[in-house]
Structure 1
Amino acid sequence: MPQMSRQDPLIENHTVDYVPLAERHGKARDLFTLWFSTNIAPLPIVTGAMVAQVFHLNLVWGLLAIALGHLLGGIVIALASAQGPRMGIPQMVQSRGQFGRYGALLIVFFAALIYIGFFISNIVLAGKSIVGIVPAVPVPASILIGALSATAIGVIGYRFIHSLNRIGTWVMGSALLAGFIYIFAHDLPADFLTRGGFNAAGWLATVSLGVIWQISFSPYTSDYSRYLPADIGITRPFIATYLGATLGTILSFAFGLVAALATPEGTEAMVAVKQATGWLGPILMVLFLLNIISHNALNLYGAVLSIITSIQTFASHWTPSIKVRVVLSGVVLAGCCLVALGASADFISQFIGLILALLLVLVPWASINLIDFYVIKRGVYDIASIFRADGGVYGRFNLHAIVAYFIGIIVQLPFANTSLYVGPWANLVDGADLSWLVGLVVTCPLYYCLATRQHTQKVRAARLGYTD
């Protein structure tokens, strides 16, 4: 493979444009390290603690539900990631090939909103983590430090993000392993194995949480695989992403569950981690802080690409430069910091509730994306049309995709169980949000039928035209 490092600029020089074959680089294993390292962080650990604290499962049933949920949801994120080398463009730009040039705008808007929401939540969390480690640092200064650090990584871009996570895989993986060893090497509570039990509602809620967790990453996975060589195929990127995303999250969720069970019932999740890991606790807190910052760079990177995609939709001949991405990163940084500095004490829980509610719009998008790429078009897209002002062969709007998308959202609403909206059938299984399952079951066959019907009509029209 040619050595390109001497010629490559420090800051990534592509935005939402196609990555030429001559500039492709990297290996499939880079996807493993990215998604493994990214998911060893406080948020999945806190969520894993909920399995015991909120859903009241014991260790065995909790681990089974965690594993099953992430193994199922991981299929979605891995299939989305494997599209990157074939397409060479960001995930949201690719949506034009399914929804039409302007039809994709709504999806891009929701994706940007989710990225920004997670970015704000994480800089607040990073600020609190810095204060917890160094109490003398004021909260506003801590938030700014966390935000600026993540922005610097996001601005440098693709290569630096992958490099950091290659290091993070070894560091965070070793730290988490050491945490497990420390906990099990010391005396455990008498009820460690018996606290909680099995209940169908809690078990299904945990499985659903794992599925939703993985799907939430799907709108930007191919952003981090689009530089891979086009001849790398589908299987290797799929396996690398699947193993990285599922192993990282399963280990983090399991660590949260174990820490919760290793401390007195009712102990707050991160406090439980500190107590359960003794002298190792402060080291883990520092490493978690660094990982929050590294992970948050992905949210900023995705938000900026989504904003550029929206603008470029109305300016087809415009190719955004490095300066545009840098300036937009600064604008997003400033706006998010203003929101974060004025955030209330329970801001993170409120915002996460909003983001989880927005996942209702991601499930039908993921369904359409995967059916279109793997079943209907078999990975063959006209890249030039995706960037044409009129949408080329994909048009300005694809009504079949848009109709399937909105129906996919509507059918989920009766089953939704979010902080913003609770549907009339949300408690069919108490505490478990099964709306994602309804969305997948309805949207996949609906879009397939509509899309294949459209194709059949075009073929018939062409044959009649030829006959005449």
Structure 2
Amino acid sequence: MSTPTPATPVPAQVEKRTIDHIPEDERHGRGRDLFTVWFGSNIMLLTIITGALATTVFGLPLWAGVLAVIIGNVVGGIVMALHAAQGPQMGVPQMLQTRAQFGSYGSLLVVVLVVFMYLGFFASNAVLGGQALAQVTGMPTGLATFLIGCVSVVATMVGYKLIHSLAAVLSVVAGGALIIAFIWMVWVNGLPEDTLHTDGFSVAGFMATISVAALWQIAYAPYVSDYTRYMPKDTGVRAAFWATYAGCVIGSTLPMLLGALVGAALPNDDTIAGMGTLTHGVTTGIFIVFAVGVAATNSMDLYCGSLSTITIGQNIFPRWQPRAISRAITAVVLFAVAIVPAIFSADDFLANYANFLALLLCVLIPWTAINLVDYYVLRHGDYDIPSLFERDGGVYGTFNWTAIACYFIGIVIQIPFLSTTLFTGFAAEAINGVDISWLVGLAVICPLYYVLMRPQFQESAEPAAEPA
């Protein structure tokens, strides 16, 4: 099936495509361009808060928090960047490709869950950006949160190129603000005497921090290809992998380390307020940069959430040809859905956020295992793109019950190993609350999906019988 061209012209500066396949003559850019997309977009308040969990919620000393943050990002980044390498080869959004593993209708479950993930991150970012902007301007936090969300909506409406450009600017501006924050906290204002204390280490807290940092990377997996699908097909797996990996891991690790430092210095303070105290003298400038950065980064969540929502709609109404106006309307609707809980959950944000991350990890791990094994081990990147747009799934069918079964098994197998403030499984309790659920999920589902799906590929590869 060829993708039809739009019936009405769209202004050149606005991205005209949504989930349709990107033709070769519209591909542009180089692999190294991906570095700034992920480096700049990760330098924001939510990343700092995530790092602060190590020394506040999980109670680790600074040295352990730093080590766990680095390990989690380095390991989780591998999984994330492997998905990024799929974009140039296939030229379609990541969630559309999920139809090849789960079937056209079977994929809906995963796509719906991913939309909720985008909304969760959007709300989390909006809360922090609103708090920071309110702190330096004096405006009500709810209004500040709303205004930051509006900026994200506008960027989503314009689309891919504007988001890439904003991330490139953030790489310089937010990166500079991050460096200044470190310098001001450590060498200008100085840190409290007990910041470098060594007590409080626990294996459970250490593993929880690794899990949170790894999830930060893995959470990008469902949409990382959305930002590589415009790359030329000959970009290559290595170029797309390393540029995305380096940008995301470095861009995430540095602000997380800043957060861990703030948490170690002022563990009983709100992280945003604590950072304001430690950066006294340059707080206003730093908070403004990070607040604006939240708006730009949130546009990535809203953009990919819109693409995933459109994927659901196109699955139900296959004749629908969504374009720029569809993305704009979808973005406004998602914004309206996300902004209300963002405003009303601000007071219990940190506890809610930690639990959100743990539950998110549980439902993402089986999907990422299935997708990577299918792409790299079973199909070697060879997919029938037209079938992805067929209502009956084309060669992939409507339901792949093997993939669906593996997905649910992957969730169930992790539950005993979960350790959160809401629920702790019996296996996690047996190992003193250490959460290794995501490692168990990957270790079980990767080989299970391969073993169950491999016979189907062997059958399709067998030559047809000779006629009598």
C-alpha change, 1:264 and 1:18, in structure 2 (3 Å) is: closer
Alpha-carbon offset, residue 349 of structure 1: 3.9
TM-score for the superposition, normalised by structure 1: 0.92
Q: 412-421 or 103-112, which moves further after superposition? A: 412-421
The reply to whether residue 216 of structure 1 matches residue 219 of structure 2 is yes
Q: Which residue of 2 aligns with 1:129?
A: 132
Alpha-carbon distance in 2 for matches of 1:185, 1:355: 33
Alpha-carbon distance in 2 for matches of 1:179, 1:173: 10
Q: Which residue of 2 aligns with 1:249?
A: 252
Q: Which residue of 2 aligns with 1:74?
A: 77
Alignment map for 1:333-412 (pairs within 5 Å): 333-343=335-345, 345-346=347-348, 349-350=351-352, 353-354=355-356, 356-412=358-414
Q: Which residue of 2 aligns with 1:281?
A: 283
Q: Counterpart amino acid of 2:392? A: D
C-alpha change, 1:267 and 1:172, in structure 2 (3 Å) is: same
SS of equivalent residue, structure 1 residue 17:
coil
Alignment map for 1:11-26 (pairs within 5 Å): 11-26=14-29
Alpha-carbon distance in 2 for matches of 1:273, 1:395: 52
Q: Which residue of 1 aligns with 2:7?
A: none
Alpha-carbon distance in 2 for matches of 1:358, 1:452: 28
Render the CA deviation track for 1:16-51: whole Å, top value 9, x for unaligned.
000111001122222211111121111221222232
Uncovered stretches (5+) of structure 1, i.e. residues with no partner: 1-6
Uncovered stretches (5+) of structure 2, i.e. residues with no partner: 1-9
Q: Counterpart amino acid of 1:286? A: I
The reply to whether residue 269 of structure 1 matches residue 271 of structure 2 is yes
Alpha-carbon distance in 2 for matches of 1:199, 1:166: 39
Alpha-carbon offset, residue 249 of structure 1: 1.3
Q: Which residue of 1 aligns with 2:47?
A: 44
C-alpha change, 1:342 and 1:273, in structure 2 (3 Å) is: closer
Alpha-carbon distance in 2 for matches of 1:140, 1:260: 25
Q: Which residue of 2 aligns with 1:4?
A: none
Alpha-carbon distance in 1 for matches of 2:356, 2:263: 26
Alpha-carbon distance in 1 for matches of 2:179, 2:457: 52
Alpha-carbon offset, residue 355 of structure 1: 5.1
Aligned partner of 1:155 among 129, 145, 157: 157
Alpha-carbon offset, residue 466 of structure 1: 3.5
Q: Which residue of 1 aligns with 2:197?
A: 194
Render the CA deviation track for 1:132-163: whole Å, top value 9, x for unaligned.
1222x233422321111110111111100010
Alpha-carbon offset, residue 182 of structure 1: 2.2
Render the CA deviation track for 1:156-200: whole Å, top value 9, x for unaligned.
111000100101001111111122222332444333333436432
How many pairs align?
458
Alpha-carbon distance in 1 for matches of 2:432, 2:296: 36
Aligned partner of 1:226 among 226, 229, 237: 229
TM-score for the superposition, normalised by structure 2: 0.92
Alpha-carbon distance in 1 for matches of 2:372, 2:349: 34
Render the CA deviation track for 1:295-343: whole Å, top value 9, x for unaligned.
1111111111111100111222322121111111222223333444554
Q: Which residue of 2 aligns with 1:317?
A: 319
Q: Counterpart amino acid of 1:158? A: Y
Alpha-carbon distance in 2 for matches of 1:422, 1:467: 61
Tell me if the contact between 2:212 and 2:357 (Cα under 8 Å) persists in the aligned partners.
no
Alpha-carbon distance in 2 for matches of 1:139, 1:180: 26
Tell me if the contact between 2:362 and 2:411 (Cα under 8 Å) persists in the aligned partners.
yes
Aligned partner of 1:448 among 447, 450, 455: 450
Q: Which residue of 1 aligns with 2:459?
A: 457
Q: 107-116 or 431-440, which moves further after superposition? A: 431-440
C-alpha change, 1:346 and 1:201, in structure 2 (3 Å) is: closer
Aligned partner of 2:167 among 165, 180, 192: 165
C-alpha change, 1:27 and 1:442, in structure 2 (3 Å) is: same
Alpha-carbon offset, residue 251 of structure 1: 0.5
Q: Counterpart amino acid of 1:432? A: V
Render the CA deviation track for 1:182-224: whole Å, top value 9, x for unaligned.
2332444333333436432222222222112211111010001
SS of equivalent residue, structure 2 residue 193:
coil
Q: Which residue of 2 aligns with 1:115?
A: 118
Q: Counterpart amino acid of 1:17? A: D
Identity across matched positions, percent: 40
Tell me if the contact between 1:357 and 1:420 (Cα under 8 Å) persists in the aligned partners.
no
C-alpha change, 1:153 and 1:50, in structure 2 (3 Å) is: same
Alpha-carbon distance in 2 for matches of 1:230, 1:284: 39
C-alpha change, 1:169 and 1:344, in structure 2 (3 Å) is: closer
